[in-house]
Amino acid sequence: MFRVLQQGVPTSLSEFTSQYGDLLVSFAVTVLSFVVTFLILYLVGKPVLVRATKRALNEREFSQSIVSLGSSLAGTIAVFGAVAIAAVVAGFPIILSAFATIFAALALGFAFAASDIVENFIAGIFIIKDKPFEVGDYIEWDGNGGVVREINLRVSKLDTWDNEQVTVPNGDLANGTVTNLVANETRRVTFDFGIEYDASIEDARSIILEEASKIDGVLDDPEPSAPVTGLGDSAVILNGRVWINPQETGAGGVKHKLVENVKRRFDEEDIGMPYPYTELTGSIEVREQNGEGAVADD
């Protein structure tokens, strides 16, 4: 038996139950109705709405970037729609009263996070509008790189060459410098080859061009080239240059084949590829002292 000493308040559990029992049952039924209705609408409505949005956008041949963003937006609409309908079914005024305290606490946290959320949301819209990249493009930014897989409302998801997923806020991509390596129809791939000073530049250039022309995916127009671009401390630098279609051919694979094949041919043709070295000059004098050898440097 619990008792409350304050005046006007029920003094026993039975009196409390008698006075507020119906209200508690009504409140519990309302909350249960809200939760059940929300879960049913959300679990059923979200997949249906997302699939319908993807199908509608794909039928109109929108880019995958817009399809990805539209699907994310459809999922958000499904959440708010489920909350609104569930509140109406359960009794909207009662729901507002019951969750007023929770909403007030959440509003404070939302105020701090809203600026970043809004910034990234707007950045996502500008990415779709300006199209600096689309789903499937390989991009680089701030020393990072990856293939774009999804462009969502707040973030974009990319896969690295090591098959690691990277999640980047849209604001970082919209406000930073982004290099799209596959946006144009052609892309140049280069590598510096160093040969000895007494080696024939024409023979070395001929080997580079010949090996470059054998690689699948290397374009004939623009044609490969290998101009002299520098005179190093120990080598003459020839810059091997080839062009590819980045939508069809990977730059990394072409560069690896070019370097390996040219190195093999240089070895076969006795064209040296020197590396930096340091030459020390001087003399060493050996003197006898007390029957023991001593070494002195000059």
* Residues 238 and 227: beta-carbon distance below 8 Å: yes
Asked whether the predicted pLDDT for residue 1 surpasses 50, the reply is no
Closest CA to 144 of 124, 120, 169: 169
Model confidence at 111, pLDDT cuts 50, 70, 90, reads low
Q: What residue spans define the domains of the chain?
A: 13-98, 135-180, 187-268
CA–CA distance, 152 with 163 (Å, rounded to integer): 20
Model confidence at 225, pLDDT cuts 50, 70, 90, reads very high
Provide the token pair at 35.
């939760």
Element (H, E) at 16: helix 13-59
Compare 231 and 54 and report the one with higher pLDDT.
Answer: 231
Compare 3 and 66 and report the one with higher pLDDT.
Answer: 66
Measuring CA to CA, how many Å separate 204 from each of 35, 99, 170, 213, 266?
76, 78, 47, 14, 7
Query: Residue 86: what residue type?
Result: A
User: What DSSP designation does 223 have?
Assistant: P
CA–CA distance, 238 with 205 (Å, rounded to integer): 7
Whole-number pLDDT of residue 107: 62
Give residue-wise pLDDT tens across range 247-296.
889 899 999 999 999 999 999 999 988 876 666 777 777 776 665 555 55
CA–CA distance, 50 with 55 (Å, rounded to integer): 9
Compare 95 and 65 and report the one with higher pLDDT.
Answer: 65
**Are 135-180 and 187-268 the same fold in CATH?**
no
Provide the token pair at 216.
């699948």
Residue 75, judged by CB atoms within 10 A of its CB (0-12, 13-18, 19+), counts as: middle
Asked whether the predicted pLDDT for residue 6 surpasses 50, the reply is no
What is the arithmetic mean of pLDDT over 103-125?
66
Model confidence at 15, pLDDT cuts 50, 70, 90, reads low
Q: Which range has the top average pLDDT, 56-60, 176-180, 241-245? A: 241-245
Architecture of the domain delimited by 187-268: 2-Layer Sandwich (3.30)
CATH 2.60.200.30 fits 135-180, yes or no: no
What's the mean per-residue pLDDT of the chain?
79
